[in-house]
Amino acid sequence: MKTVTLEIEDSKFEQFMTILNSLKSDLVKNFEVQKKESRCDLTNDPLAQELQRRIQEIDDGTIELIPHAEVMRRVYAKWEEKCI
């Protein structure tokens, strides 16, 4: 007896199971379904690359960081200019 391991795309799983269930019972003795955990591969994602670049700039000290309180003060000042 042989064991076969297959990876089936989620979108084709139901179709595959229909085919598998239609096989003669003496052809397939046992089958088990295991959901494989997928991990995101962000190596080619432009947003992830940009985020990594910015994190590196923070680590290197090559980017000017502004404290949150200062940002909020500037936002509030701009809002006051336009609304009051």
Given this model, what pLDDT does residue 51 score? 92
Which of 6-10, 30-34, 59-63, 80-84 is the most confident on average?
59-63
Domain count across the chain: 1
- Is 12 part of any domain? no
- Is 6 part of any domain? no
Taking alpha carbons only, the member of 82, 50, 77 closest to residue 63 is 50
Euclidean distance between CA atoms 63 and 38, whole angstroms? 35
- Is 77 part of any domain? yes
Checking if the pLDDT of 10 tops 80, the result is: yes
Given this model, what pLDDT does residue 38 score? 66
**21 compared with 60, residue with greater pLDDT:** 60
pLDDT, tens digit (0-9, with 9 covering 90-100), for 11-59: 888 898 888 888 867 787 777 887 776 666 777 889 989 999 999 999 9
